[in-house]
Amino acid sequence: MSDAYPQLDVIAVGAHPDDVEIACGGTLAKLVKLGYKVGIIDLTNGEPTPRCPDPEIRLAEAKKAAEVLGVQIRVTLDMPNRRLFDSFEHRVQLGKEFRKYRPKLVLGFGEKTPLASPDHWQAMQITDAGIFYSRLTKWDAHFDHLPVHTISAQLYYTLAFRALELPEVGSKFVMDISDTLEQKLESIRCYETQFPPEKQHIFERVKAFNMSHGMTAGYQAGEIFVSPGTIGTHDLMKFVIRGEIKLPAEGPESPDEKDLGEADKSS
């Protein structure tokens, strides 16, 4: 039965349409450019919200945003917005989607978001459990007899714009989105019902957030991820020098630094 669905390399899970665009839209666009097959799963349709008169409008915005990012698949589940809770039924529902699309990597929420929707925290727990449930055997009846699938890797993204620190788990790293930042911002702008003129400041906030994270790793812009476990390598030189991991010291030179370097060579 799983052959009826295209296999994806990466799935990003959000509570509402626009969550993954804000948190990791630049990464999704970059992965598409690199040739990976990418999907998004929204647990709810995000409605009701104050400025959206019809859930179909929000879904149309989500479809347009996915097209901007270039993702191949976007699925919107029927879990309830504002009343989203981690439950057995929701875990199984997401686990079924993982079994259908068989991703190697899943991206999802990594922490609570105080003063924002509590759905985000529930989505994290549902995603954690859905990844686990996807590989459980001898539970066929709960999963419509879809074949089990083991997801190789999981990463957490953040929407914690009001916090200075990220969750103290695993390892943190930055994905270079210097060439997809504007594409990310364009995808967020697709949500006209969520970001009317009086909320345009969100775009500058997202841009500043990504530029700040990018600069810590020597990029113009970046998105930060947290691995639940420690990231390791069997080849230290390849890890830090040949491009697997970019250290801050390898960042682009400023014009002044470049001039100084040239002056040193000529002296």
Assign 166 a pLDDT band (cuts: 50, 70, 90).
low
Percent of the chain with pLDDT over 70: 87
> Is residue 265 over pLDDT 50?
no
Strands 171-176 and 222-227: antiparallel
pTM of the model: 0.88
Arithmetic mean of pLDDT, 174-188? 97
> Is residue 14 over pLDDT 80?
yes
Assign 159 a pLDDT band (cuts: 50, 70, 90).
confident
List, in sequence order, every residue forming a beta bridge with 172; answer none if it has no partner: 226
pLDDT of 240 reads 77
pLDDT of 167 reads 62
pLDDT of 64 reads 98
List the domain boundaries for the chain: 2-231, 235-267
- Cβ within 8 Å of residue 170, ≥6 positions away: 226, 227, 228, 229, 230, 231
List, in sequence order, every residue forming a beta bridge with 73; answer none if it has no partner: 39
pLDDT of 258 reads 39
In angstroms, the CA 209 to CA 217 distance is 13
Backbone φ, ψ for residue 89 (5° rounding) = -65, -40
In angstroms, the CA 24 to CA 223 distance is 6
Lowest mean pLDDT among 24-28, 41-45, 263-267: 263-267
In angstroms, the CA 39 to CA 106 distance is 10
Tens digit of pLDDT for each residue in 62-103?
A: 999 999 999 999 999 999 999 999 999 999 999 999 999 999
Assign 162 a pLDDT band (cuts: 50, 70, 90).
low
Classify residue 237 by burial, with Cβ atoms within 10 Å: 0-12, 13-18, 19+: exposed
What DSSP string runs through 128-161?
HHHHHHHT-SS-GGGGTTPPP----EEEEE---T
Whether 211 contacts 76, CB under 8 Å: no
In angstroms, the CA 177 to CA 26 distance is 5
Distance, first Cα to last Cα, the chain: 70
> Is residue 23 over pLDDT 60?
yes
Question: In a 3-state reduction of DSSP, which class is residue 173?
Answer: strand
pLDDT of 260 reads 34
List, in sequence order, every residue forming a beta bridge with 171; answer none if it has no partner: 227
Lowest mean pLDDT among 48-57, 171-180, 195-204, 226-235: 226-235
List, in sequence order, every residue forming a beta bridge with 107; answer none if it has no partner: 12, 155
Arithmetic mean of pLDDT, 50-54? 96
Whether 44 contacts 33, CB under 8 Å: no
Domain at 2-231, CATH from 3.40.50.10320, 3.40.50.2300, 3.30.1600.10, 1.10.3210.50: 3.40.50.10320
Specify the higher pLDDT residue, 166 or 185: 185
pLDDT of 160 reads 74
Tens digit of pLDDT for each residue in 203-260?
A: 999 999 999 999 999 999 999 999 998 888 888 887 877 555 554 444 443 334 333 3
